[in-house]
Amino acid sequence: MTTLTACPVCGTPRPANRLGNQPWCCSVACYRTFHGIPEPVTPSCHDAVTMTCPICQHRFTPVGRQKFCSDACRAAAYRRRRDAGRPTLRVPKAQPRRPITVYECDSCGARALGEQRCEQCSTFMRKVGLGGECPSCGEPVAVTDLLAQEVITAD
């Protein structure tokens, strides 16, 4: 038996770790030539292929990893991505809080809803918090009295 010591197509010497009696080819091209396999017809992933711009639908040949046909289309795509996540913001109309604020007089202990000055003492009362009138007795009641915790309002 004879051992082939080189590539049968180009004559490249066989490496020492590739021992055997079968023909040895040094590359895929030599293998195809030796066995009569034709070259593939499909283009490689690196060949120039036309593609469609996702913004304007214009066909173009990309350069590198180019996705858009022009800088204008690239900028338009950026603006669409940037603006897509922003919902329209509606700011509610500002409402005065004084009518729903409960005040208490430090000297006489009287409570009033929406009135900062005590009618009996004619002094300014301190703010207890947001609240309203009690449905059963009609007295001003703060939310903090009912819930036993602080109410935080967004300003």
pLDDT in tens, 91-148: 667 788 888 899 999 999 999 999 999 999 899 999 998 889 988 888 999 888 887 6
Least confident span in 22-26, 53-57, 105-109:
22-26
What does the pLDDT read at residue 117?
93
Task: Name the residue with higher pLDDT: 88 or 70.
Answer: 70
Please say whether the beta carbons of 140 and 113 come within 8 A. yes
pTM, two decimals, is: 0.38
Domain limits, the chain: 1-41, 51-83, 98-147
Q: Would the CA dihedral through 66, 68, 74, 78 be positive or negative? A: negative
Q: Are 111 and 103 in contact (CB under 8 A)?
A: yes
Question: Where does 43-148 have alpha helices with state H?
Answer: 71-84, 143-147
